[in-house]
Amino acid sequence: MRTSRAAAISVGVALTAIMGAVLATPAVAVDPEPAPEPRVAVEYFPQPGGEGRRTEVPLTTETETETGRATARSASPSASTTDGEVGELAVTGPSADRLDVVIVGDGYTAGQQDAFHTAAAAKWADITGIEPYASYQGLMNVWTVDAVSAESGITGDPTADVTKDTALGSYFWCSEIERLICADIDKVASYATKAPEADLVVVVSNSAKYGGAGYSGLEAEGYPFDGVSTLSSDNAQSSMIAAHEIAHSVGLLADEYTYDSYGTWTGGELPDINSSVLTAEQMAANQSKWYRWLGESDPTGGTVGTYEGSSYYPFGIYRPTSNSIMRALNISEFNLPGREAMIAGFYREANALSSEVATDSAILRTSRIKVSRAELTGLAAPELRWYVDGRPVKRAQGLSSVVPAALGVPADGRTHTVTVASVDRTASVRDPEVRAEATEKLTWTVGASGRKGHKQH
């Protein structure tokens, strides 16, 4: 639901033009430092079920000229193909009120677009099999965009010497790492932006081989979305990569895995929700980070505490549980602090409550107010509450259609207000700030005084 897309695209176009100019300029003696290639951080998982690793890769395939890989441009698909066509995989509400996920396929020919749609649906089903995606998928829209490739399959599958001409230029063996699937982010953006909104992008590559990646920091490079996940279509374990990567973007969660070589963290407290320099005793005393969850039995199988090793450092910094989906992909559960952070992120990006009755002009006592709510299940515990002049109307609780007069708005010639609040009473939230984020309100002014109503969040 980001609103700066047009501005971001023009920045992206300008940036691309500048990068093109820089690359086209031959090296001259007055400037001995070569222009840096645009590179961006990615995370990948060397083995199915393993811990992640991070590296930097080129933004586009054109810049990786030293390997000569994937530099060929795809032939223009003929007008009879579905190239660029947008599909609705799971559209639950207006994009302004939803977290919009766009899935684009690579290595699918004109005749294989049905296979792409099947793969996209299967991958989304895997991701939404995991909590809290499962309970909160009603706050998300999922779009598909057809990208027609000249050849079936992608570069580097099954072996490093295989080259394919594909719409998004995606390839295994990125930076010489077999399981790292990179793509040309300019080409990905050219398709993803055909969908109404692209908050998050997933690239599904036509392959049975395990692999994928998570790009981050793309908004800083001028793209209208911050994260792109890549994953292979026909490998059951690749879905976990996207479930992990989306958690960085939506839940702002840190990685809980470590590198032996990093040694001891000696800096101060990090902003990360799920990493802390405090021991459990200190955390409880300071009432910070995940202190509200300490000692609880956790969906990952253990007890919430402070386990040494997080945010890449094996010592001097702690994570909430022994294992979780933010540490390794051999477990499909977030820990309780991670679950709460994900729910906070869903509500930050989306609104569960909407109404076609405008709140910016006064309504009559006899006007019907209808509201609609996102469909939330499982962990969620949504409740609708009505108020007249700020006082709760208990008998109206849960109603999605009311008339102010029936709520008790008197015909006394004065102005009154009717407010509806959608409150998520989920037990997966303990932080009052997150609870407030998960509470949405609409207020109408009742009466003919012409005073304006207002919308609150």
Kindly list the residues in this chain that would bind Zn ion in the complex (CB under 5 A).
43, 52, 255
Give the nearer residue to Zn ion in terms of CB position, either 120 or 243: 243
The least distance separating Zn ion from the CB of residue 45, rounded to whole angstroms, comes to 9
Give the nearer residue to Zn ion in terms of CB position, either 244 or 416: 244
The secondary structure element, H or E, covering residue 244 is helix 239-251
The least distance separating Zn ion from the CB of residue 323, rounded to whole angstroms, comes to 14
The least distance separating Zn ion from the CB of residue 43, rounded to whole angstroms, comes to 5
Q: Which residue is nearest to Zn ion (CB)?
A: 255
Give the nearer residue to Zn ion in terms of CB position, either 52 or 320: 52
- In the block, which residue shows the tokens 């099999």? 129
Give the nearer residue to Zn ion in terms of CB position, either 52 or 305: 52
The least distance separating Zn ion from the CB of residue 18, rounded to whole angstroms, comes to 30
Give the nearer residue to Zn ion in terms of CB position, either 12 or 52: 52
The least distance separating Zn ion from the CB of residue 277, rounded to whole angstroms, comes to 20
How many Å apart are CA 188 and CA 106, to the nearest integer? 9
CA distances from 431 to 21, 332, 343, 426 (A): 50, 24, 11, 11
The least distance separating Zn ion from the CB of residue 153, rounded to whole angstroms, comes to 27
The least distance separating Zn ion from the CB of residue 419, rounded to whole angstroms, comes to 40
The least distance separating Zn ion from the CB of residue 361, rounded to whole angstroms, comes to 47
Give the nearer residue to Zn ion in terms of CB position, either 107 or 211: 211
Give the nearer residue to Zn ion in terms of CB position, either 221 or 245: 245
Give the nearer residue to Zn ion in terms of CB position, either 61 or 310: 310
- Coil, helix or strand at residue 88: strand
